[in-house]
Amino acid sequence: MKIKHAEIVISAVKPEQYPIEPLLPEIALAGRSNVGKSSLINMLVNMRKLARTSSSPGKTQTINFYRINQQFHFVDLPGYGYAKVSKSSKEAWGKMMETYLTTRKNLYEVFQLVDIRHEPTQQDKHMYSWIKSFGFNGIVIATKLDKISRGQRQKHLSMIRKELQMTSEDILIPVSAETREGKEQLWEVILEVFRV
C-alpha cells in the first residue's frame, strides 16, 4: 500500500466531533492501553509520530481519527485495562465506545489488538465478544511479535485463538511494529475489508 498522505483529523470526545464530510469508510482499532495501537498505526503509514505512543498507559480517553490518502480512516479507540482508572471514567469509556460502535454507519470493521506474549485478559475477551455482538467479524492482531522467539509463535497464536474462542475462519495476524513483520499481510486484510 502506497501512503501518499496521512493526518490526524480529530481527537473526539463526543459524537458531534466525529468527522462527517466526507464520510470515509473506517476501520477501528481496540485494545488495552499499551498494547501497541499507536505504534501499529504509525507502522502502517510509515510515519514515526502520526499517532502518539507512550510507555505510560492511561492516556486521555479520546477517539482519534486518522485520514489516510483521503480514502479512509483508521480510528484509534480509547484503551482499557488501566488499573488506576476510576469507576466513573470506566463508565464514560463504556458509553463512548458503545455510542461509537453502534451508531457509526461508515465503520466497516473493528480490529482487536492483543499482546502476543500474554494470555488475553478478561477485558480482552469481553471486548472481543462485544465487537462480535455488534455484528463485526472481529479480526485479531497479535502485537509485539518480535518479543517472542520463532519457536514460540504457533503456541502463542493457538493460545490466543483458544482463549478468545476464535473459529478457524476468524482472522488472526501477528505483527511487529518494531521489525515491521506482518505489515504486508495486515494491509491485505485491511484492503479486503474496504473492498466489500
Which positions lie near ligand GDP, rule CB under 6 A? 31, 33-39, 53-55, 57, 79, 143-144, 146-147, 176-178
End-to-end CA distance of the chain: 18
Which three three-digit cell numbers place residue 76?
Answer: 484509534
User: In the bound complex, what is the minimum distance in angstroms from residue 169's beta carbon to ligand GDP?
Assistant: 26
Per the structure block, which three cell numbers stand in for 26? 473506517
Query: What's the Rg (C-alpha) of the chain?
Result: 16
Residue 58 C-beta: closest distance to ligand GDP, Å: 9
As a whole number of angstroms, the distance between CA 23 and CA 124 comes to 29
Nearer to ligand GDP, 30 or 107 (CB): 30
For 114, the enclosing helix (H) or strand (E) is: strand 107-115
Least distance in Å: CB of 35 to ligand GDP? 4
Tell whether the torsion through CA atoms of 146, 150, 151 and 154 is positive or negative. positive
CB nearer to ligand GDP: give 42 or 195.
42
Residue 48 or 95 having the CB closest to ligand GDP: 48
All cell numbers assigned to 43: 507502522
| Single-letter code of the amino acid located at 133 | S
Q: Measured from the CB of residue 92, what is the shortest distance to ligand GDP in angstroms?
A: 18
Which of residues 37 and 104 has its CB atom nearest to ligand GDP in the complex?
37
